[in-house]
Structure 1
């Protein structure tokens, strides 16, 4: 998250939290930004790597990584002078998943749809973290070909079908600041294309309950997604998707077969979730 200096006050892309909200703890926010820099495919990262990724001064990053290592959220590797995720982060992740009972409800339905779709197609349930969607449940059918994603994998909020389905489920006051942050991240050159995709997906969901993404997130990968609105008080909005290589999941198959099945899946999970 890049920090910007406006009129002598430090603010960030989240808006005015750092400069205008007395309840907002900027140091905590920056520490969490450090943890968000690590991706599942990364090796250890040094302070310079982290400073570049999160847009903070290296001196600030050094203090944050030192503190996070002391608390067990990062492991320091003296041979390389770099850091990797610590076990304490895993404990937080499992605590989060344990509190999301909806994923237990969804898992058998996800597996049934994956088995129906066949040949390694991935089905998943995801929630939002910052400007990404994070898988909280996944299923795939056996096959030689499969997307290399699992629980914890991140997808673009603005460019993936599951992210666009999530945005479509939000009310306007909640969605508007996210759209502004996505605009800032995309930049003036790419934002019109990203915005068109988001608006088109919202219209598709209004019309038929699901939205398609044909190679817009990753070339050669097609997917369909459906929002899951909260079924219990305090539950965040979530979204489902079904994706795979374009030669396995053609637009015609997604539109005629898997999209309607995914809508049915979401309706069943919501019904069970409300009854739990």
Structure 2
């Protein structure tokens, strides 16, 4: 399916690493908390350590202010410093474990995701949830082969197969889609979402990374209407066993759904 109309995230390729998809953040304001938010958002799966100059450049915050705020964050444990480089501190990890919903969902789903990656021979298996108009990736299971791309922890909800599944099951999707794509394109987008909802899967074929395709399915609870999360697999685009992949995904999502219902 052609992607629902949405501005694509920017692509960056590091000199020695895979393609990284970054989403520009427009949610922070000019307050102290807003600046702290921008500093913390600089860190990503492929940028775990960064020096002061680069931290200032990427966050858009003046270097003197960056130094002052980063030093305070180190003192509080939200950042740590090794030599001249900063990285996320243990306080971030500790607080993340207290987010009960995502932590519980990840704990329940992780064994099934590991089995799914092995059974489907996928490059990557993701577990994702919706947070407002973002698709947030809670789990990322990879094998030993080199992965040609990485996703940032969140992306605009209509820019990926997982996000489109999440939007398809949202009760307020008409208003949300209209706000995201505009009135002229909303009906087309909503029709695509209805197709996704009726067949219970979405895909992208080379939209994010040429040569790769992704399939995503909902994790439904007993009533089949509430969808707390989505599972997706990414495979080479030349794979011809699409139905086998989908059946493996549906089986995995049903397994996670049953486990969630029992708890």
TM-score > 0.5, shorter chain as reference: yes
| Structure 1: tracts of 5 or more residues without a match | 1-11, 20-25, 185-191
The 5 A counterparts of 1:199-214 are 202-214=193-205
Give the TM-score, by structure 1 length.
Answer: 0.65
Residue of structure 1 in register with 2:138 after alignment: 136
Determine if contact 1:205/1:226 at 8 Å carries over to the other structure. no
In structure 2, distance between residues paired with 1:110 and 1:86: 27
Given that residues 107 and 138 in structure 1 are in contact (C-alpha distance below 8 angstroms), is that contact kept between their aligned partners in structure 2? no
Q: Structure 2: 5+ residue runs without aligned partners?
A: 1-24
The C-alpha deviation readout for 1:156-195, integer Å capped at 9, x for no partner, is 333221222223232327972x875x669xxxxxxx8xx8
Q: Which has the larger displacement, 157-166 or 96-105?
A: 96-105
Question: Given the alignment of the two structures, is residue 115 of structure 1 paired with residue 93 of structure 2, yes or no?
Answer: no
Comparing both structures, which one devotes a greater share of its residues to helix?
1
- Per-residue Cα deviation, 1:62-92 (whole angstroms, up to 9, x for no partner): 4332221111111235x53x42222222223
Task: Give the corresponding residue for 2:165.
Answer: 165
Deviations 1:129-162 (A, max 9, x none): 677544323445x66465666xx95353332212
Q: Distance in 2 between matches of 1:206 and 1:98?
A: 24
Provide the C-alpha distance between the structure 1 equivalents of 2:115 and 2:46, rounded to a whole number of angstroms.
28
Could you state the TM-score of these two structures normalised by the residue count of structure 2? Answer: 0.68
- Secondary structure of the 2:50 match is coil
> Structure 1 residues 164-173 or 64-73, which shifts more?
164-173
Residue-by-residue CA offset, 1:24-59 (whole Å, 9 max, x unaligned) = xx5334323321210121153244433443444545
Are 1:61 and 2:76 counterparts? Answer: no
Distance in 2, matches of 1:197 and 1:137, equals 31
* Aligned residue-pair number: 233
